[in-house]
Amino acid sequence: MLEQRILIVEDESAIREMLHIPFHKAGFILEEAADISEARVKIFNQMPSLILLDWMLPNISGIEFAHELKRNAQTKEIPIIMLTAKGEETDKVRGLEVGADDYVTKPFSPRELVARIKAVLRRTVTHSHTEKLEIRDLSLDLSEHRVTISDTEVAMGPTEFRLLQFFMSHPEKVYSREQVLNHVWGGNVYIEERTVDVHIRRLRKALATYGYDHLIQTVRGVGYRLSAKE
Ligand code: CA
């Protein structure tokens, strides 16, 4: 059976920490993010099986992020359990309206949470994320975290993988370096724009072995795009 990777997005470290032991016992791999930008990076790195999403987070609320995840074709299948201290009925309704799969009110017992996670995973297992992005013979498998060209695996680093995932999700569209940074590095992070150039070069190099480096095109004065057109 596949390992269940559970991402908790919660700014209170005590809550994240109390889950270490019970999650380990339940056979879950716990991934942690203290805010949304960290969560975006974790999700890009590897699709979680389920997301525990705190309602009250700095900058962007959990509810807004849930909405964002459910609108994105790549992440909409990931089940979400909202965590909240409020426990008000209206919040519950709002959470379920944006597509959260369940709702747990703080304080909760880790045992109760594990049981709820298992129940949600059982319900959603049939449409688990087997999603693949494909352009010609180039294929990016999100659940296996693997890139292949004509069934041969292409080795690349995690940042190059995220870059390629981003471009394959939005083919033919041009993005500025700043936009690429925001999407792939999660924004709110201070990284120089030329970092994008460095990783684009690495990505092209990985693809060049198979003659696919031309897919990643430089648009002078604007930025980059992935294009399958000649
Ligand atoms: Ca919080």
pLDDT band at 125 (very low <50, low <70, confident <90, very high): low
Report the separation in Å between the CA atom of 63 and the middle of ligand 1, taken as the mean of its atom positions: 12
Q: What is the pLDDT of residues 141-192, one digit of tens each?
A: 987 889 999 989 999 998 899 999 999 988 899 999 988 987 787 655 677 8
- Structural domain boundaries in the chain: 4-128, 132-226
> Average of pLDDT values for 41-69?
89
| Ligand 1 centroid – CA 61 distance (Å) | 9
Output the pLDDT for position 24: 93
Name 40's Cβ contacts closer than 8 Å, sequence gap at least 6.
186, 187
Q: Sheet with 138-141: list strands edge to edge.
A: 132-135, 138-141, 146-149, 152-153
pTM: 0.60
User: Into which CATH architecture does domain 132-226 fall?
Assistant: Orthogonal Bundle (1.10)
Distance 11 CA to ligand 1 centre (A): 5
Query: pLDDT tier at 230 (50, 70, 90 boundaries)?
Result: low
Alpha carbon of 165 to ligand 1 centroid (Å): 30
3 state DSSP class of 23: helix
- CATH code that applies to domain 4-128: 3.40.50.2300
| 83 in Cβ contact with 54 (< 8 Å) | yes
Do 4-128 and 132-226 agree at the fold level? Answer: no
| Mean local confidence (pLDDT), 16-38 | 94
**62 CA distance to ligand 1 middle (Å):** 9
Q: Identify which has the larger pLDDT, 131 or 114.
A: 114
Percent of the chain past pLDDT 90, that is, above it, reads 52
d(CA 108, ligand 1 centre) in Å? 14
Which of 38-42, 87-91, 184-188 has the largest mean confidence? 38-42
CA of 196 to the centre of ligand 1 (A): 32
Percent of the chain with pLDDT over 70: 90
226 bridge partner residues: 216
Please report how the helices 177-184 and 158-169 are oriented relative to each other, as an axis angle in degrees rounded to 10. 110
Ligand 1 centre from 81 Cα, in Å?
14
- Per residue in 204-226, pLDDT (tens digit) is 999 998 899 999 999 999 999 99
- Report the separation in Å between the CA atom of 92 and the middle of ligand 1, taken as the mean of its atom positions: 16
Say how many Å lie between the CA of residue 209 and the centre of ligand 1.
46
**Cα 65 to ligand 1 centre (Å):** 13
Q: Ligand 1 centre from 208 Cα, in Å? A: 45
Max avg pLDDT among 44-48, 88-92, 110-114, 140-144: 110-114
Residue 119: which H helix or E strand, with range?
Answer: helix 110-124
